[in-house]
Structure 1
Amino acid sequence: MKAALLTSVLLSSIGLAQANSIDKGRALAEKGNCAACHGVGLNAPIMPVYPKLAGQYADYTYYALLAYKVGNSNAQFGRNNAIMSSQVQPYSDADMRDLAAYIASLPGNFVVKR
């Protein structure tokens, strides 16, 4: 009984600990000047090679940021882009999750084919 209660408390606290802050993510995006490359609302890149971010799934964005942070140190997981790798280095795991939550909250114009 005690083990079940302890497990329940631990599992519920994990969900609380992972609550992401859109406001913190917005502040990080502004501080990092993400719009300089990804454009207004992170949906109008200044060059065609830069992706639209607005509305992207939070988990995809988080893992992409993590892969840029890892960079060449892990050939199976890392992404190699000098600009993005340097941009994400100062961010903690929580910061990247907040950024991802903010980006997911933005209205995007991705097209979903049905």
Structure 2
Amino acid sequence: MKFALITAVLFSSIGLVNVANAASVDKGLALVEKGNCASCHGAGLNAPILPIYPKLAGQYPDYLYYALKAYKVGGGNPQYGRNNAIMGALVQGYSDADMQDIAAYIASLPGNFVIRK
């Protein structure tokens, strides 16, 4: 009985942690608009103004979050950081939660990525 109670409490607390850390698409939208991401990544973040800028819409949220963190670290860490002055400056003011919100919003957008067979 005691084991069942401990197990139930443990699993219910795991659910609470996930809810507390759940990313907000609405907050992500506000941050994307504030950062004016469409000025480079285009309409719907899926039509970059130049071919050197990536299409973002529809990417996996984990990939997007990792990329934002790498820009925040910068090129000083060649194993993890990304070296881009514009993106590096934009993400410096974002918390981890902000970057998760941004990633959740961008991942929710329709994209045209195709997996080739």
Which residue among 90, 93, 98 is the counterpart of 1:95?
Answer: 98
Deviation of 1:21 after TM superposition, in Å, equals 0.8
- TM superposition shift of 1:5: 4.1
If you compute each CA radius of gyration, which structure gives the higher value, 1 or 2? 2
Deviation per CA, 1:44-100: give whole Å up to 9, x if none.
Answer: 101100000011110000000000001134221111111110010111000000000
Q: How does 1:1-114 map to 2 (within 5 A)?
A: 1=3, 3-114=6-117
Please report how far the alpha carbon of residue 12 of structure 1 lies from its aligned counterpart in structure 2 after TM superposition: 1.5
Identity fraction in percent: 64
- Alignment partners' CA distance in 1, 2:106 and 2:78: 26
Paired AA for residue 83 in structure 1: I
- Identify the range of structure 1 (53-62 vs 69-78) with the bigger mean alpha-carbon deviation: 69-78
1:14 CA displacement: 1.9
> How many residues align structurally?
114
Deviations 1:1-56 (A, max 9, x none): 36434422331222112211111100000000000000010011011000000111
**1:111 deviation in Å?**
1.4
Instruction: State the SS of the aligned residue for 1:23.
Output: helix
In structure 1, distance between residues paired with 2:8 and 2:109: 38
Q: Which runs of 5+ in 2 are unaligned?
A: none
How big is the alpha-carbon RMSD for the aligned residues of Structure 1 and Structure 2?
1.3
What TM-score do the two structures reach when normalised by structure 2? 0.90
Amino acid of the residue matched to residue 109 of structure 1?
N
SS at 2:74's partner residue?
Answer: helix
Which ranges of structure 1 fall in alignment gaps of 5 or more residues? Answer: none
What TM-score comes out, normalization by structure 1 length? 0.92
